[in-house]
Amino acid sequence: MQTISKVETTIYERPAELLQQLIRFDTTNPPGNEAEIIGYINQILMGAGVQTTLFAKDPARPNLVARLTGQGIAPPLLLYAHVDVVSTENQAWQYPPFEGRNVNGVIWGRGALDDKGGAAMFISAFLRAHVAGFIPPGDVILVLLCDEEFGGTMGAGYLV
């Protein structure tokens, strides 16, 4: 698993680079071990002044929730993504699955489509709105979960 010691808190301005960073965390589930990637995302959000809450049934498997408070005149919008991925075991990959390589403008790696790509887009959109001071009609809730790929008992099941 890759450790990123210094978190650049404005990486959300470059979603493709953010996706590359997220792919570099091996969150193969089982076992998941999403704590490091959730910690990385948490540092980005907190660096931009966002209050976050972590919920974990197991400290190695946290979930992150952040809220952009709206005007209260519309229902909330949920931006939901998961950060665990399925195994790459016994699979042939053209590029290393946890490298996040950019090839001709396409990011390759495990989770690029399911669901670290979605997470990168949601984080970027959420932070752009927050930094711009945008007050949406309803709250925008960012939820990043563990354990979607193997039962959800540590992620969505635990939060519910």
Which residues are catalytic, by number? 84, 148
Distance CA 131, CA 120 (A): 16
Give Cα 12 distance to the centre of its chain. 11
Q: Write phi, then psi, for 121 (nearest 5 degrees).
A: -65, -45
Tokens of 12: 């959300």
- The CB density around residue 31, as the number of other CB atoms within 10 Å, is 13
State which amino acid sits at residue 14.
Answer: R
Strands of 26-125, DSSP E: 52-55, 63-68, 77-82, 101-103, 106-108
Give which of 45, 125, 34, 21 is closest to 78, Cα–Cα: 125
Bridge pairing between strands 140-145 and 77-82 = parallel
